[in-house]
Amino acid sequence: MSDPTATIHDLGYRRYEGPRDGARGAFDALVWQGIRTMFGIGRPFKAKSVPVFVIVVTMLPALATLTAASASGGQMPVPYGILIAPQLLLFVLYGAAQAPEMLSRDQQHRVLPLMLTRDVTRGQYASARLLAMFTAMFVVCLAPLLLLYIGEISIAKQPTAAFARMGGKIGPVLLHATMTAWVIAGVSAALASLTARRAYATAAVIGVFLVVAAITTGLNELAGLPDGVTALLDPIQALRTMALMLFGETTRGMELTPPPPLPLFLVVLVALGAAGAAGLVWRLRRVDL
């Protein structure tokens, strides 16, 4: 961009006769701006802190494991599920911190009514923001798994043979990242759209995930709820158990009481994310301007 600063001409007002992309263009702009906000791109350093922290911290264990596996000459197995399970809370932290950055801020600074007078309807706004939220979450959730996957293939003595052996593992990698992103994006977007106060929204997202975990654990231990049901009710535990099942790993607890079948997990998680998405749309249809 260049400004003719040598002389100041008042060119007068010029009409805009160019193309207008209407709702389509507005939707793209909303998604893009949303993704930028989710990663703090073009924002001060402070806005980048949580995204950078979560991405780095979740990828470090993957990197360490790969280094160890590489040192052992590819003999040490790379445990995807066991590595990703503890990162789930960090993904929740990311959603909790960044969803309000995008959704609560639009209400806090009252940009939402401004957008709605343009080529943006309430429904389009909700779906564009949800898409941005999901895309960003997907990238963050996929990063450590993809690092493990690419790393495991490239450190093998014969990468082509390794690829032939475990090429199909990309399926579970993508599926798990999709499910994690969908659930956390849906739930945190819905909660963030409820309030214009970012701190409340962040606390609400973390609170909901932790409280649900606490309640299901309590029910499991005190009311004797079967482990299988607990694993389904608590989204974090469901994602954890699903990761282990997807990557063919098991824990002692899972050996004692086999978890529910995988499709059931998928159904529950898809429904949970969809409930969040529906909540977001419902809320944004009603929010006062």
Is 126 in contact with 43 (CB distance < 8 Å)? no
**What is the closest distance, in whole angstroms, from the C-beta atom of residue 31 to another protein in the complex?**
11
- Rounded CA gap, 108 and 101, in Å? 10
Query: Which positions lie near another protein, rule CB under 8 A?
Result: 1, 3, 11-16, 18-26, 28-30, 33, 42-44, 47, 105, 109-111, 113-120, 289
- Rounded CA gap, 221 and 225, in Å? 7
**Residue 2 or 160: which CB sits closer to another protein?**
2
**What is the closest distance, in whole angstroms, from the C-beta atom of residue 140 to another protein in the complex?**
21
- Rounded CA gap, 231 and 110, in Å? 40
**What is the closest distance, in whole angstroms, from the C-beta atom of residue 11 to another protein in the complex?**
8
| CA distances for 30 relative to 11, 25, 33, 143, 202, angstroms | 31, 9, 5, 24, 22
**Residue 118 or 165: which CB sits closer to another protein?**
118
**Residue 25 or 77: which CB sits closer to another protein?**
25
Q: Spell out the residues 6+ positions from residue 85 whose beta carbon is closer than 8 angstroms to its own.
A: 240, 243, 244
**What is the closest distance, in whole angstroms, from the C-beta atom of residue 2 to another protein in the complex?**
10
**Residue 27 or 91: which CB sits closer to another protein?**
27
**Residue 14 or 157: which CB sits closer to another protein?**
14
Is 154 in contact with 189 (CB distance < 8 Å)? no
**What is the closest distance, in whole angstroms, from the C-beta atom of residue 154 to another protein in the complex?**
37
- Rounded CA gap, 216 and 152, in Å? 36
